[in-house]
Structure formats: C-alpha cells, structure tokens
Amino acid sequence: MGGPRLEAEILKPIADLDFFDTAVEDELDPARLRALDALLVWGTPIGPGTVRHLTQCRAVVRYGVGYEKIDVASLAAAGIPFANNPDYGTEEVADHAVGLIVSLQRRLWEHDHRARTYETRWQANSLSPLRRSRGASVGVVGVGRIGTAVVNRLKPFGYRIIGYDPLQPAGHEKAVGYERADDLKGLVETSDIVTLHCPATIETRGLLSAETLSFFKPGAILVNTARGDLVDLDALHEALRAGHLAAAGLDVLPNEPPLPHPLLAAWRERADWLAGRLVVTPHNAFHSDEAGIEMRTNAAETVRRLLEGRGLRNRVSVP
C-alpha cells in the first residue's frame, strides 16, 4: 500500500500517524498499539492478542469491505467498535464481473487460445455452441451494492436477470429490476451464467459445493469476484473436467497466493482440455487508480469523523 502520505494529509489537523509497515500480526509492537486512538488496517490480521493491547483505541477501521481477518467479536468484547469501508470499488468489481461474463459467454479466451494454431483456415473456426446474450439468463447471487451494479450493467445486453438474496426485502427486485429466485437451487437450475456477489460467512462458505454445482445447467458459466471460500475448488475442478460447466472466471481463490491444486496446475500449464475455459485474475477486481485513492480517503475520513466527535460511519455490528 505504500506510505500513509494521503492519510496523513487528511488527519494532519487532529492526529499524528504511526505507520506499522507489516502485514504480520506478531510484528505489531504492543507499546505502540497501546498509544493508538484509532487503528486503520488493510491486510494485517487482528486477533485477540492484538486487541488486548488496544487499551486506548476508540475504533478499528478496515480499508476494505471484507473483514474475515478481523476478530470483530474480540473487539466488541473489549468495547472497541469496528467499521469497514463498503463505499469504494463498487464500479470496478461490477465492471470486472460483467467483463468476465461477456468474454466467457462469447468464448473470447478460448478463441484466442485456439486461434494460435490456425494456419490455412481462419474464420471457419468459430466455436459452437455460442449463444447470443439476448435471451440468455444470468443468475446474480447477492443483490447488494455490487450485485445491483452488476444487474444495471447487464440490462442493456438483453439478458434475463435472476437474483437470489434472502437479505433483501420483498419488492427489492421490482425496484432494481430482476426476477427473484426463492432459493439458490432454483436460481442455478435456470441460469446460463451464475455470478457471485455475497460475503463469506458461516452460512455462505462452501456455498457452491459438488451437490450445488450438479444442479447447474449443463454448459453453464460461473463467475466469482466475491470471496474464494464460496466455491469448493475440488468440485469446480470436477465440473469443468467433466464438461458439466462450460467455463469459470475467478478473481478470488480459497488461498491467496494459491496453494498447489490440480485445477490451477492445469490452468498454469494451459492444458488443452481447459484452454480458455478458466480465467483467473489475482484478486484485483476492486482495483483502479481512482478506487485506490477513494479507498484510502474514505477510510481516513471515517477516522477523522470519529476523532472529531461526529460518530463512526459504516459500523459493523456483531450478531
């Protein structure tokens, strides 16, 4: 992330900054932690061992949206409120997801891979089946901020859009403009493409298991720009290898950097059976130059508002 010059400029009138240049929790100095009035954190885990030293801290603020590495329960027990930063990168993740959806449906990556071997024949090498977008169905799992942005971007393509999100109130589908699925099974059974936009929780980890993937339409496409833990990588490997799924686009993986896995080995080796059918990007769907500035600015402004006595925005409540 670099040095905190931008944050220092925002907080300059009311606070001094102490920069912990580490992503390893055990390297956080207890004495420096005890002096903090607020803690901004990017990728460093925050567990009970760190929380017990935050004796003066009035809030912990996460630069990003997800907070799987933050022990929110320990913070709550210590009386320290926690906030995340949901209002950045929405456009970027939605654009990334739609880019994967359209490119995989059009089989662009597979055309690119196979065109390298074409010599005497060229245009005649069109791949089939290849359906037009108008009339194809896209299932959106999680229709919050990012899911809604995806729905809005998909509409001009003419897709039939189906959404599943039990947390959204009745009528949300009418306000946003999608068909509501009553359950995940019903959504995947009727979708040509499924795109994930929900957090990783106890309820959603392993959401797409071997059983759930078996309910997908033959030849369906899966896109995941949400959390790697949502998809069983072994099951995805089998579904792609068997041809039950046509393709998958992943910006997130269960382990990052990825641990050795047969599916990722085939992807790295450009195995012919998988060529163009699996696209992997390194968890950067959220990124743009503008989003990086927005993320840091919003997080620092959250701390400034708190220190000025204007309350903590985007506070995350413990269930």
**pLDDT tens, 9-44?**
999 989 999 999 999 999 999 999 999 999 999 989
Answering whether pTM is above 0.85, one says yes
**pLDDT tens, 103-154?**
999 999 999 998 988 887 888 888 888 889 998 999 999 999 999 999 999 9
Q: Is the peptide bond before 257 cis (omega within 30 degrees of 0)?
A: yes
- Which parts of the chain have pLDDT scores under 50? none
Name the segment(s) of the chain with CATH classification 3.40.50.720.
Answer: 5-87+288-307, 90-280
Confirm whether 25 is a catalytic residue.
no
Taking the domain 5-87+288-307, which CATH number applies? 3.40.50.720
Buried b (16+ CB within 10 A) or exposed e, 3-18: ebeebeebbeeebeee
* pLDDT number for residue 120: 79
* pLDDT number for residue 1: 53
DSSP 311: -
The whole-angstrom separation of Cα 190 and Cα 231 is 19
State the catalytic residue, choosing from 160, 283, 287, 315.
283
Structure tokens that stand for 149 in this block: 């942005």
* pLDDT number for residue 58: 97
* pLDDT number for residue 319: 65
26 Cβ neighbours under 8 A, 6+ residues apart:
49
Confirm whether 197 is a catalytic residue.
no
Confirm whether 241 is a catalytic residue.
no
> Domain 90-280 belongs to what topology?
Rossmann fold (3.40.50)
* Helix, coil or strand: residue 161: strand
State the catalytic residue, choosing from 62, 180, 227, 304.
227
- CB burial class (10 A; 0-12, 13-18, 19+) of residue 235? middle
Dmax over CA atoms of the chain, in Å, equals: 73
Pairing of strands 82-83, 193-196: unpaired
* pLDDT number for residue 123: 86
The whole-angstrom separation of Cα 257 and Cα 161 is 33
Q: How many CB atoms lie within 10 A of CB 35?
A: 14
State the catalytic residue, choosing from 27, 68, 256, 290.
256
